[in-house]
Amino acid sequence: MSMQAKSEPAQARQCSVPASQLKAAEAAADGSSASAPADAPIAACPLLRYAVEACVVGEDDKPLSDVAVELRAGADRALRAKTSADGMVRFEGLQTGSLELSLYELDEEAWVLEGSEALPARLARSDGDAAWLAPVAVGSQSRVHVVAQGECTAKLASRHGFFPDTVWNWPDNAALKTLRKDKNVLFPGDRLCIPARRMGSVAANSGQRLRLRRKGVPDTLHIRFLVDGQPRRQLPYLASVTHVDGVQAADCRGVTDENGYVLMHVMPEAHTVSITLGSGAEAEVHTILIGVLDPVTECLGVQKRLANLGLYDGPLDGQQGSGLERALARFQLTQGLDVSCRLDEATLRALRDFHLS
């Protein structure tokens, strides 16, 4: 006679564990999930790091290299760098927080913030920690500069980190301004006050790019070409600029406008511009020294202006003579002035206006 064992449903099975052991296991589980032992290592949550970029351009919207930029975090930490050939500088390893950016070698009126934008995500993040330095000292000392031949306010202002009008309109230069009229036509021996430089700054946020403009650099050079008093319109030209250190800037091509003008941007250190006007066998080469024109109130300044206008071909010696008187008479005649052969106030004003300086 065979017998079969009768199986019970699985759900009916029970684990016969004493209640005291169950309570002990539950207490251990609760303790391990609530907190770790005091001596167990705790993994730190990594802090995110960001970057700030700045782009510095000139008045012609082209990038400016070698411009000193400082980024500050509070009063005691700073990062410094100079712009590269593309006008850019980048600061990395930054936490979020209050930041300020400055072009610290320039006066506060020599540059301006034009705008800002969020960096693309791939550029906003960075690795590592910033290597902070102490901030640079603020400001500079005022000084009086004795003008040499070939110097003008634009050149001197750029050399010392200023916008030209800031220097020219400084109260200590009021007497010189009244005497010379034109900030870029000074006379050797003139005394120009260079004020103390003031540091300006703008707010910057991590993950941001700022666009900054250097005011007054480059400057705009206006050269007018006439023949028999009439503008030489729509003539092709090639302009080559040489700086005081002998470095030659990139050539500039164009055509004269309806008033016979060549308009071009030049850096403050420009010394000579050579303009080839026209083309082929009819091309003419004109060489112009920048910043060496004497004031119109000086005899030599009058001679140079009349020579530039094709009315004087005598020596540039700063001496009165019959040749200069004849040139003045011709100029007065072309301008409808009384022909006195002398540089009276009306002739002086007309000569300055017609010569553009």
**pLDDT tens, position by position, 236-262:** 999 999 998 999 999 999 999 999 999
Crossing angle for the helix pair 322-334 and 299-308, nearest 10 degrees? Answer: 60
Among the four given CATH numbers 3.40.50.2300, 4.10.490.10, 2.60.40.10, 1.10.287.610, the one describing domain 218-292 = 2.60.40.10
136-139's contacts with Cβ under 8 Å and 24+ in sequence apart are 136/70, 136/78, 136/80, 136/104, 138/198, 138/199, 139/196, 139/197, 139/198, 139/199
> Kindly report the CA angle at 55 between 253 and 184, in degrees rounded to 5?
55
Cβ atoms 307, 300 nearer than 8 A: no
DSSP 295-347: PTTSHHHHHHHHHHTTS--S--SS---HHHHHHHHHHHHHTT----SS--HHH
Query: Could you tell me the pLDDT band of residue 50, with boundaries at 50, 70 and 90?
Result: very high
DSSP 30-70: HHHHH---TTS--PPPPPP-EEEEEEEE-TTS-B--S-EEE
> What does the DSSP 8-state code read for residue 5?
P
Query: Could you tell me the pLDDT band of residue 355, with boundaries at 50, 70 and 90?
Result: confident
Q: Which CATH superfamily includes the segment(s) 293-357? A: PGBD-like superfamily/PGBD (1.10.101.10)
Among the four given CATH numbers 3.10.350, 1.10.3470, 1.10.760, 3.30.390, the one describing domain 143-194 = 3.10.350
Phi, psi of 167 (to 5 degrees): -70, -45
Instruction: Tell me the three-class secondary structure of 245-283, residue by residue.
Output: CCCECCCEEEECCCCCEEEEEECCCEEEEEEEECCHHHC
Query: Could you tell me the pLDDT band of residue 41, with boundaries at 50, 70 and 90?
Result: low
Q: How much of the chain, in percent, has pLDDT values that exceed 90? A: 67
93, burial (CB in 10 Å: exposed 0-12, middle 13-18, buried 19+):
middle
What CATH topology corresponds to 50-137+200-214?
Immunoglobulin-like (2.60.40)
Q: What is the mean pLDDT of residues 75-79?
A: 95
pTM of the model: 0.79
> What does the DSSP 8-state code read for residue 13?
-
pLDDT at residue number 65: 97
pLDDT at residue number 293: 87
Q: 115-129, pLDDT tens digit by residue? A: 999 999 999 999 899
Domain coordinates in residue numbering, the chain: 50-137+200-214, 143-194, 218-292, 293-357
pLDDT at residue number 18: 53
Query: Is there a shared CATH topology between the 218-292 domain and the 293-357 domain?
Result: no
CB atoms within 10 A of CB 279: 11
Cβ atoms 116, 211 nearer than 8 A: yes
pLDDT at residue number 354: 87
pLDDT at residue number 5: 39
Q: What is the mean pLDDT of the chain?
A: 88
Q: What is the mean pLDDT of residues 348-356?
A: 88
Query: Could you tell me the pLDDT band of residue 228, with boundaries at 50, 70 and 90?
Result: confident
pLDDT at 87 > cutoff 60: yes
